[in-house]
Every structure is written in C-alpha cells, then in structure tokens.
A and B are shown apart, each in its own frame.
Chain A
Amino acid sequence: MTARVASGSRHWRDPSPLGLAACAALAIVTLFVLVYPAIYVLIGSFRPNGGLLSAASTLTLRNYIQIFQSGFGRFIFNSLVICVTATLASTILSIMAAYVFSRFDFPLKRSFFIGILFGQVFPWIVLINPLFVAFAAMHLINSYVGMILTYTAFTIPFSIYMLVGYLVTVPKSLDEAAIVDGASRWQVMWFIICPVMLPGFVATATYAFLLCWTEFLFALAFLTQTNLKTLTLGLYQFFGEDNVDWGAVMAASVVTTLPVFLLFLPIQGRISPGRTAGAVK
C-alpha cells in the first residue's frame, strides 16, 4: 500500500513505453534461448535422424521404437533399481543423523557438520581411483551393490544438510511431550517428527533420487558391462561414437529427462537454489 503513496517517485512511476518495449524484447530473447533448445530436441525426437538432414516434417515414433529395441528398457530398469534403493538407504540414514544434529549437543558436533558440508564440494573424480581399486578387490565393479553403496554415500551430505534445515524448525517441545507420554526416541523420530516434516523429507529424497538418476562419472568408471549400465551410460553409448544417430539420441534424451521434469516441478518450490548449488555435479 505504501507503494501507492510513493507513486510520485521514479521507482514506482509506470515505466515509459520505450522502457517497457526494451524489457519485453530482452525478456523474449532470454525466454527463447532458455526454452527453444529443449523444445527443438523434443520435436527432433519425433523426426527421422532428428530432422537434421531431411527437411521433411513427418513425425514418427521410429526413434523411440528403435531405442527400446536396442535395449534402452534395460538401462531404465538398472537405473531404477540402483537409484530407488540408494535413495531409500540414504534418506533413512540421513533422517537418523539429521534428527540427532537438530536435537542434541554432543562433542565435535560442529566439526562433524562442517565435515559433512565439505563432502558437498569435494572433487568426486579424486575418489574414483582408490574406490575402483577397492571395488575391484571386493568384486563390486559391475555390481548393483557397488553402485548402490556409492550413490548412498554421495547423496548423504546433501540430504543431511537439507534435512537438518527442516528439522530445526520443528519445536523440541513436540519431542518432549511425546517422551513424557512414554514414547522412545526412536518412536518419536519416525512417528511424531517424520509425519510433521513429510513434505520436506519427500522433497529431499526426490532431489537425491534425481542426483542418482542423472549421475554419469561413477557409472562410467564402475559399470562396463552393457547389461548393467544405467540410463546416462546408455545415452552416452548412443552418441559417444563418431557417427551419431541423432534420432535415437534425441529420443533417449527425452526418455531420460521426462521423469526429471515430472519429479522436479512439484518439489522445486521447496528446494532453495542456494542449498543445492553444491550438490550439482
């Protein structure tokens, strides 16, 4: 309302037609650059060879049929098994740790927490060689278990950081009331606090899932057998060679990205961009 009172000042005066036009033009260019590439690929996925060589505007499902015939379904299955299991494990462990961080004081608590924050910015590539040697000795190369453990460990720092942020907003009196009524800490954690913070927990788990779903480096290093490869490796297989079949690559890209959009859009309001800045690899 104060805005109206101050309407005599320049900041609140209606923009001049010229300024309006300039802003609109800039915005249209920005929107175009942001959105057009994605739409172009979406349309390309329904065209022969991505529409690159033929000017023909025929739309076809051939690219999609082709990638599933050449085993893309297997990659989706592998990604689902690895990512769902890793997300569940990492979220459960993170809830346990985050609950303790938000409720108790204990020695070295701050150092622990800073160590976890550091986990978000550490170069993962440096961990690949020693992990590869250790995994090879334990037969965890080309195994679901190896990938699940890896993804669990690497989504934990982000998840704990997010979850502690949610949990500190829940008053401790809620815990204490339940404990007076005879509940154990374990019960309080899962049956009192978890339901209260469920939307935040779901958002965190979803984001952790997306980190796994789109991960490339660990998969590239630890999975070499075609029947165990994840989605991103399957996509890489289509366009890594010299002669790229663009139609197949586009279709595979759309199949990879669609679940990301469907899961990301509902949670994006709860994921502050600043918090995830370190989690994107």
Chain B
Amino acid sequence: MRNRLFITAMLAPTVILLLLFYGYPILANLRMSFTDLSLLGMKRGGSWVGLANYREFFRSGGFGHILFNTLVWLTATSVIIRLILGLGIAVLLNTRALKQLRMAALGRFALLIPWATPPIVAVVIWRFLLERNGAVNAALIWLGIVDQPVAFFADMRTVWPSIVVIMLWNTVPLIALSLLSSLQTVPHEYYEAAELDGATHWQKFRFVTLPFLMPSLLVLGLMSVFWSFNNFVYVWLATGAGPGTFTNVLATEVYLKAFIDFRLGYSSAIGMVMATVMGAFGILYLRLVARQQLEDTL
C-alpha cells in the first residue's frame, strides 16, 4: 500500500509532463489539421474545413517533390551512405595494421570531434568550406577538376549532395564508434575457424564480421531513419529549403507553412502526414528495437 503511493508520487510529475508535451499536442494537432486556423488569428480560432487541408496538400505541385526529397535524399541516401562509411571506418580502425601503427586510438579520438560538434556548427563549418572562395573550391581548381568555383548550395546538381555531406560528417562517427565497440566483441575463434577453411579476407568479412554486426547495423539503421526523416536543422540551416523550394522536405514544409505563411491549420495537416509515415516505421521500431531495449533494460 505504502509502495503504491510511492510509485504514484514518483511517476506522476513525469507522466503529467509527458502527457502535456506529447499526448495533448498530438490530439490538438489532429484537431487543428481540420481547420483553417491562422497564426495571425489564433484568438479567433479557425473554422472547420474537413479534409480540405489534406486534399490541398496531396494535390499541390510540391507534394511529390517534398516526399521524394524527404524519403530519397534526406533519409535513404544519407542513411545508406552513413552505414557504409560507418562500417568502413569501424573495420579500418579495428585492423591489426592500424593497431601496429598506433593509429587506432588516434582515430577513435578523431571520431569524437565531429560527433561532439553541434549540428548548427557542423552546417556553419561546411558552408564555410563550400563557399565560392572556400577551401573545397580552391582544392578543386588546384587539382584541375573544375575551372570555375562551384556554387555548391545554389546549383541544383550539387545542393543535395552538399547537405548529405554535412549530415554524414556530423553523424558517421556515432555509427563508426558504435560498430567499433561491437567489432571488439567478435570472438577470435570465428576468424581462426574461417582461416582453417581457407577463407579470404573478403570471405571473413562477409561470413564472420558482417553477420556478427547485423543486429547493431539494423538498430543503428532504423534509428538513423527516424533521426533523418524527422530532421529539420540541416536543410533549414544549409539552404532554408532553397534554392527556391528545391530542397524542401516535410519538416521544413511544416515550419514554412506555419511560421512564414501563417497557415497553422494547413501546416498541422502536413505534420499529421509526417506522423503517419513515422507511425508505419514505428511498428518496425517496436518490433525490432523497442522490445530489445526493454529486455536489455528492465
């Protein structure tokens, strides 16, 4: 009985706060998405417009473009390259060669620098490096790859790769460090057995290392999907969704519609679309990650 009181008292503040900041907003957002509420007329409130906001968004010219940007560039491209590079760096730092050269510890330390850099600063750094007169252009011209400086964030051919590079620099270290700690738990006997069977380096990687890392890769990949899909800061700070609306994604569209166009109702409808897509991933998250985290923790 005393315990029950204690449990309730300890959990109550957290539960109330989370209901106010997650539970209530989700329901309020759903209700707002059926109105024409404006940021300038919040006191007056909005009128009920049914599904008009959703219809408008799905029929708007930007819809397919925004969805493509979000799913293909912001999420798929960045997550796949992130996992490959993270795996590559982890394997490299785990090689005997680097340990012999005493570079493994140095590499581990170097990974901490981009990992600890705040996203807004990562964007600053790369916008500076990719400036017209910046270091990257200087290097490209010196190497004779281009004649004229490239306007990385204004040119439609280079703007998405540039954003992805910023994301990768900032986030690959987390993947690499995580995989590195998994790699160090692979039992040596596995490699020795593979060698007795005459396995090549590639076969050892393919049939020993990779299967061993699969569970970590899956979790990291899925978390990266959430993290990239939901992300607002990289696109917003690198390009402000530009040039024009060329790099607009769902997160920036929600912000633009609410705080630049003042259309809160319409923006909330886009937010609901976003939450629905995430909900689909959420089932995967529940089955593959959350259960595991629950078992590991409780």
A binds B: yes
Residue numbers of A with Cβ under 8 A of B are 2-3, 6, 9-12, 14-15, 19-20, 23-24, 26-27, 30-31, 33-35, 37-38, 40-41, 44, 50, 52-53, 93-94, 96-97, 99-102, 104, 106, 109-110, 112-119, 121-134, 136-137, 149-150, 152-154, 156-157, 160-161, 164-165, 168, 185-186, 213-214, 216-217, 221, 232, 235-236, 239, 244, 246, 249-250, 253, 256-257, 260-261, 264-265, 268, 272-274, 276-278, 280-281
Contact residues in A for B216 (Cβ distance below 8 Å): 274
B254 CB-CB contact with A under 8 Å: yes
5 closest A-B pairs by CB: A214-B118, A153-B21, A130-B28, A277-B223, A273-B178
Q: Which of B53-61, B94-102, B140-148, B156-164 lies at the interface?
A: B94-102
Q: Is the CB of B18 within 8 A of A133?
A: no
CA distance A54 to B142 in the complex (A): 18
Kindly identify which residue among A19, A101, A130 contacts B298, using a CB–CB cutoff of 8 Å. A101
Residue numbers of B with Cβ under 8 A of A are 2-4, 6-7, 10-11, 13-15, 17-18, 20-22, 24-26, 28-29, 32, 37, 39, 42, 89, 92-93, 95-98, 100-101, 103, 106-107, 110-121, 124-129, 131, 133-135, 169, 171, 173-175, 177-178, 181, 188, 191-192, 194-196, 204, 216, 219-220, 223-224, 226-227, 229-233, 237, 251, 254-255, 258-259, 264, 267-268, 271-272, 274-275, 278, 282, 285-286, 289-290, 293-294, 296-298
Contact residues in A for B120 (Cβ distance below 8 Å): 214, 216, 232, 235-236, 256
A135 CB, nearest partner CB in chain B, Å = 10
Kindly identify which residue among A50, A123, A134 contacts B278, using a CB–CB cutoff of 8 Å. A123
CA distance A110 to B293 in the complex (A): 11
How would you classify the secondary structure of chain B's contact residues: helix, strand, loop or mixed?
helix
Q: Is the CB of A168 within 8 A of B298?
A: yes
A98 CB, nearest partner CB in chain B, Å = 9
Q: Is the CB of A127 within 8 A of B268?
A: no
How would you classify the secondary structure of chain A's contact residues: helix, strand, loop or mixed?
helix
CA distance A156 to B230 in the complex (A): 19
Kindly identify which residue among A38, A106, A154, A281 contacts B227, using a CB–CB cutoff of 8 Å. A281
The A/B interface has a contact count, at CB < 8 Å, of 309
Contact residues in A for B272 (Cβ distance below 8 Å): 126
Kindly identify which residue among B251, B290, B298 contacts A125, using a CB–CB cutoff of 8 Å. B251
Q: Is the CB of B29 within 8 A of A126?
A: yes
If A9-B195, A31-B110, A164-B298 touch, whether A265 touches B116 (CB-CB below 8 Å) is yes
Contact residues in B for A264 (Cβ distance below 8 Å): 112, 116
Kindly identify which residue among B42, B118, B227, B268 contacts A257, using a CB–CB cutoff of 8 Å. B118
Q: Is the CB of B28 within 8 A of A277?
A: no
Contact residues in A for B267 (Cβ distance below 8 Å): 129
Kindly identify which residue among A27, A100, A102, A121 contacts B285, using a CB–CB cutoff of 8 Å. A121
Kindly identify which residue among A12, A20, A150 contacts B101, using a CB–CB cutoff of 8 Å. A20
If A124-B230, A153-B20, A278-B227 touch, whether A164 touches B297 (CB-CB below 8 Å) is yes
Q: Is the CB of A281 within 8 A of B42?
A: no
Contact residues in A for B231 (Cβ distance below 8 Å): 281
If A123-B274, A156-B18, A273-B174 touch, whether A97 touches B103 (CB-CB below 8 Å) is no
Q: Is the CB of B13 within 8 A of A96?
A: yes
Q: Is the CB of B124 within 8 A of A235?
A: yes
Kindly identify which residue among B219, B254, B286 contacts A114, using a CB–CB cutoff of 8 Å. B286
Kindly identify which residue among A20, A113, A160, A185 contacts B6, using a CB–CB cutoff of 8 Å. A185
Q: Is the CB of B18 within 8 A of A11?
A: no
Contact residues in B for A127 (Cβ distance below 8 Å): 21-22, 25-26, 29
A101 CB, nearest partner CB in chain B, Å = 7
Kindly identify which residue among B42, B89, B113 contacts A35, using a CB–CB cutoff of 8 Å. B113
Contact residues in B for A33 (Cβ distance below 8 Å): 169
